[in-house]
A and B are shown apart, each in its own frame.
Chain A
Amino acid sequence: MVVNHLRVHWEYLKVALSTAMEYKINFIIQVLAMVFNDVVWIIFWLIFFNRFQNVGGWVLGDMLMLYAIITLSYGLSSVFFGNRNRIAEIVNQGKLDFYLALPKNVLFHVLISRSSFYGLGDVVFGIILAFIVLSLASLSLFLILVLASTSILLSVAILSGSLAFFFGNAEATSRNIFMGTLSLASYPLSVYQGVTKFILLTIIPAGFISGVPVELLKSFNAQWFWLTIGFVVLIFSIATFVFYRGLKKYESGNLMYVRT
């Protein structure tokens, strides 16, 4: 069952890669644009920490660690689950019919049937950054935390995309929720205090995407580690539950289209 799904995933990736390679120059430009984006943010933080050194206990190294985690998780989810931000659109336009008729897990199939290979730029950038700022000893912990972040990002995308089941046209809202969470996660966790910090560790899980992993890499704390893992399991279960709950309300479209 699982092997079967992985095989389908692999085939989709191969097709997506060869499609991307069809327009090599465009592909390279897009990858480079993603890398450029990451580099610009690093420059921003270099300038910032050059002037201020310490932001509520966070130093430049912590920020670089945060970017290693966030670019890698974002990149991995773009490459392997490229449809993550198009759930609302697929549902709203009735394009879900295609997936319902096939003998694969619907949610899984939706997520993997597209791949944004320009996310490779983020992946490569994240890996390089990780090698610069991390010691070899923390590499395995880093990888686990990246997987955790990727799962939370995916869960946020599924949850926000599922809004379309309940409210119809939710494409802009869904994208804003995802990008908003990502933006909140792109700043030092130490700038958020009180209620905000609580919200970012519960309802809007931006804290678990980047802040908590960075704190764990700085100084490991078993309690927070297991809390993170527990949170991943919880939010992923909720996301799956909400998606299938919404699916029951799904009214298929009468739109005829050819899927190429």
Chain B
Amino acid sequence: MTLTKYFEIGKINFINSFAYTFDLLASSVFVALILFIFVSLWKVVFGGQIMIEGFTISMMLWYLVMTESIVTAQGHVVEEIGEEIKSGQIANYLNKPYNYIFYKYASNIGNGVFRFFLTFLVASIVVLIFLGGITIPLISIIPVLITVFLAITLHFAMMALLGVFAFWFEDAKSMHFIYQKIVFTIGGMLLPLEIFPFWLERISAVLPFSYVAYHPAKLFVNFSFSSFFSVLVFQIIWIAVISLFIFLVFRVCVKKVSVNGG
């Protein structure tokens, strides 16, 4: 019963996203351009080579299709939450029969899932035209989608944590910006971790950022059940750890919220 309301919130937002298809399409077109650049870049880098660090050129590009689609699936969660907490608007939510963070999650995930599929579709078309397809085992589709869903959730959780922190650090926008760049690099959105120097690869692989981009995308192009279970376990652990932090910080912060008038 308690969970159904969040499911409904998510559903409403999923359906609502159809209303802004044109806006969303514009941002997907941008991702398409980036993929076009990546196709050109990796074609030159691969030259005559078949394999680089275990990646063929089509694995590399489809890996990037996946990372880009996951990472760009969500909007400005940090700014949204940061702004609502700072401006005191959060008071409107606190007296509702739902948890504020869960509410935000439900409304974002609905939108996020829609955007993920749209971006994935547009990006796939670009890679299909300029490079070609990739063969993946049919059996991997459901497990990969599960890790994608958890990746979007983990991504949300980290942004929500930063948003709550915006209560103290004024500038939520800059924080979002910096977080984004961390996911771009050591999260593996722009490059698979295998390209990194060994020490950096090891560090990045265990940090939560790579469970948003690198791990699910690697699984997509190179599936095995053993790595699926390990990714799954670590994603759940990181989501749990970060959620715990959110609730601790959020509690302190709600106590300090003072709302004046109406």
Measured between beta carbons, the chain B residues less than 8 angstroms from A30 are: 171, 174
Q: Establish whether residues A33 and B40, one from each chain, have CB atoms under 8 Å apart when the complex forms.
A: no
Closest to B47 in A: A56
Bound Cα distance A183, B184 (Å): 15
Q: Establish whether residues A26 and B170, one from each chain, have CB atoms under 8 Å apart when the complex forms.
A: yes
Bound Cα distance A187, B170 (Å): 34
Q: Establish whether residues A183 and B34, one from each chain, have CB atoms under 8 Å apart when the complex forms.
A: yes
Measured between beta carbons, the chain A residues less than 8 angstroms from B177 are: 33, 36-37
Task: Take A30-B171, A40-B181 as given contacts and tell me if A187 and B197 are in contact as well, using a CB distance cutoff of 8 Å.
Answer: no
Bound Cα distance A47, B197 (Å): 7
Q: Please indicate which of the listed interface residues B30, B34, B44 has the most CB atoms of chain A within 10 Å of its own CB.
A: B44
A144 contacts the other chain (CB 8 A)? no
Task: Take A37-B177, A43-B185 as given contacts and tell me if A172 and B44 are in contact as well, using a CB distance cutoff of 8 Å.
Answer: no
Q: Establish whether residues B174 and A29, one from each chain, have CB atoms under 8 Å apart when the complex forms.
A: yes
Measured between beta carbons, the chain B residues less than 8 angstroms from A187 are: 37, 40-41
A25, A50, A172, A192: the one contacting B23 at CB < 8 Å is A172
B244 contacts the other chain (CB 8 A)? no
A176 contacts the other chain (CB 8 A)? yes
A190 contacts the other chain (CB 8 A)? yes
Bound Cα distance A29, B195 (Å): 31
Q: Establish whether residues B30 and A33, one from each chain, have CB atoms under 8 Å apart when the complex forms.
A: no
Q: Establish whether residues B185 and A40, one from each chain, have CB atoms under 8 Å apart when the complex forms.
A: yes
Measured between beta carbons, the chain A residues less than 8 angstroms from B15 are: none
Q: Establish whether residues A44 and B34, one from each chain, have CB atoms under 8 Å apart when the complex forms.
A: no
Q: Please indicate which of the listed interface residues A32, A43, A47, A184 has the most CB atoms of chain B within 10 Å of its own CB.
A: A47
Bound Cα distance A40, B181 (Å): 7
B101 contacts the other chain (CB 8 A)? no
Measured between beta carbons, the chain B residues less than 8 angstroms from A51 are: 195
Bound Cα distance A48, B184 (Å): 13
The interface on chain B, measured as residues whose beta carbon lies within 8 A of the other chain's beta carbons, has a size of 28
What is the 8 Å Cβ interface bit string for chain A, positions 176-201, against chain B (1 contact, 0 not)? Answer: 10011001100110111100100000
Task: Take A25-B170, A40-B184, A184-B37 as given contacts and tell me if A190 and B44 are in contact as well, using a CB distance cutoff of 8 Å.
Answer: yes
Measured between beta carbons, the chain B residues less than 8 angstroms from A29 are: 170-171, 174
Q: Establish whether residues A176 and B34, one from each chain, have CB atoms under 8 Å apart when the complex forms.
A: no
Q: Establish whether residues A48 and B191, one from each chain, have CB atoms under 8 Å apart when the complex forms.
A: yes
Bound Cα distance A30, B184 (Å): 19
Q: Establish whether residues A50 and B190, one from each chain, have CB atoms under 8 Å apart when the complex forms.
A: no
Q: Establish whether residues B191 and A44, one from each chain, have CB atoms under 8 Å apart when the complex forms.
A: yes
Q: Establish whether residues A176 and B195, one from each chain, have CB atoms under 8 Å apart when the complex forms.
A: no
Measured between beta carbons, the chain A residues less than 8 angstroms from B190 are: 44
Q: Please indicate which of the listed interface residues B41, B43, B191, B200 has the most CB atoms of chain A within 10 Å of its own CB.
A: B41
Chain B nearest CB: distance from A197 CB in Å? Answer: 10
Measured between beta carbons, the chain A residues less than 8 angstroms from B233 are: none
B136 contacts the other chain (CB 8 A)? no
Within A46-90, the residues touching B (CB, 8 Å) are 47-48, 50-52, 55-56
Measured between beta carbons, the chain A residues less than 8 angstroms from B184 are: 40, 44
A19 contacts the other chain (CB 8 A)? no
Closest to A181 in B: B33
A173 contacts the other chain (CB 8 A)? yes
Closest to B33 in A: A180
Q: Establish whether residues B33 and A183, one from each chain, have CB atoms under 8 Å apart when the complex forms.
A: yes
Q: Establish whether residues B37 and A191, one from each chain, have CB atoms under 8 Å apart when the complex forms.
A: yes
Q: Establish whether residues A36 and B178, one from each chain, have CB atoms under 8 Å apart when the complex forms.
A: yes
B196 contacts the other chain (CB 8 A)? yes
Bound Cα distance A29, B171 (Å): 7
What is the 8 Å Cβ interface bit string for chain B, positions 1-34, against chain A (1 contact, 0 not)? Answer: 0000000000000000000000100110110011
Residues of chain A at the chain B interface (Cβ within 8 Å): 25-26, 29-30, 32-33, 36-37, 40, 43-44, 47-48, 50-52, 55-56, 172-173, 176, 179-180, 183-184, 187-188, 190-193, 196
Given A33-B171, A51-B195, A176-B29, list of 4 further CB < 8 A pairs? A26-B171, A36-B177, A44-B184, A47-B195
Q: Can you spell out 22 A-B residue pairs with CB atoms less than 8 angstroms apart?
A: A30-B171, A40-B181, A40-B184, A44-B184, A44-B190, A47-B185, A47-B195, A51-B195, A52-B45, A55-B41, A55-B45, A56-B44, A172-B26, A176-B26, A176-B30, A180-B33, A184-B37, A187-B40, A187-B41, A191-B37, A192-B40, A196-B40
